[in-house]
Amino acid sequence: MLFLVPTPIGNLGDITVRALDVLKGADFIACEDTRHSIHLLRHFGIEKPLVSYHEHNEARRTAEFIEQLAAGKKIAIISDAGLPGISDPGHRILRACQERGLPYTVLPGASSVLTALVGSGFDAAKFYYAGFLPVKSGGRERDLRAAGGREETTVFFESPHRLVKTLTAATTLLPDRPLCVARELTKTFEEYRRGTAAELLAHYTAHPPKGEIVLIVAGLD
């Protein structure tokens, strides 16, 4: 059985009882960064073999894991934070299980996408998750322009090192659109800051952002 197990996005108390039970019962745990995940497992007293599973070895590892699943192994997949398969490894092996007819399950749990969406106060009935904004300015502007044309709320991941550049572009592309920067979700310095691109740009120019960031763009009225 394959288990996709969500892990906390900040506050360790947000892990579920079921997630802990699955991790304790797995034959091994596949994770993005063993150095990162070992701290989480030690915090909860879980001692299991860890195997690296990230974008650079995902194809090879998936082939190995599928054969182990077919042999009856219980494998838990976790990412550094949140639900595997959303901008993190997980999708490829789940599809491989479907193709081979092997059993799998996805546990519910922490997700920065949904947490930020609801916390923004924008319409959460219909939304579009657009993943990480492109590093290059042309792609970034294309995605911001597309968000401006949607009726749905758009959710992006963004790096704190590029947020000011993104907000600068948004002052031209989305000058009147309400935006929200959700930062350090569930952690001590959690922040939801709403405003226009210009207002947010002024704030984060004066106060350079740190930590994990989700940028939410309100949809068309």
Q: What is the pLDDT of residues 107-153, one digit of tens each?
A: 999 999 999 999 999 999 999 999 999 999 999 999 999 999 999 99
Q: How confident is the model at residue 221 (pLDDT cuts 50, 70, 90)?
A: confident
pLDDT higher than threshold 90 for residue 79: yes
Q: What is the pLDDT of residues 146-191, one digit of tens each?
A: 999 999 999 999 999 999 999 999 999 999 999 999 999 999 999 9
pLDDT higher than threshold 90 for residue 197: yes
pLDDT higher than threshold 90 for residue 88: no
pLDDT higher than threshold 90 for residue 66: yes
| HEC readout, 47-93 | CCCEEECCCCCHHHHHHHHHHHHHCCCCEEECCCCECCCCCCCCHHH
Q: What is the pLDDT of residues 1-10, one digit of tens each?
A: 999 999 999 9
| Residue 188 to residue 213: CA distance in whole angstroms | 14
**pLDDT for residue 98:** 98
Q: How confident is the model at residue 28 (pLDDT cuts 50, 70, 90)?
A: very high
Widest CA span of the chain, in angstroms?
A: 57
Taken in order of first residue, the domains within the chain and their CATH numbers are 2-106 (3.40.1010.10), 112-217 (3.30.950.10)
Q: How confident is the model at residue 83 (pLDDT cuts 50, 70, 90)?
A: very high
Contact 165, 172 (CB under 8 A): no
pLDDT higher than threshold 90 for residue 87: no
Q: How confident is the model at residue 55 (pLDDT cuts 50, 70, 90)?
A: confident
What is the average pLDDT across 21-47?
Answer: 96
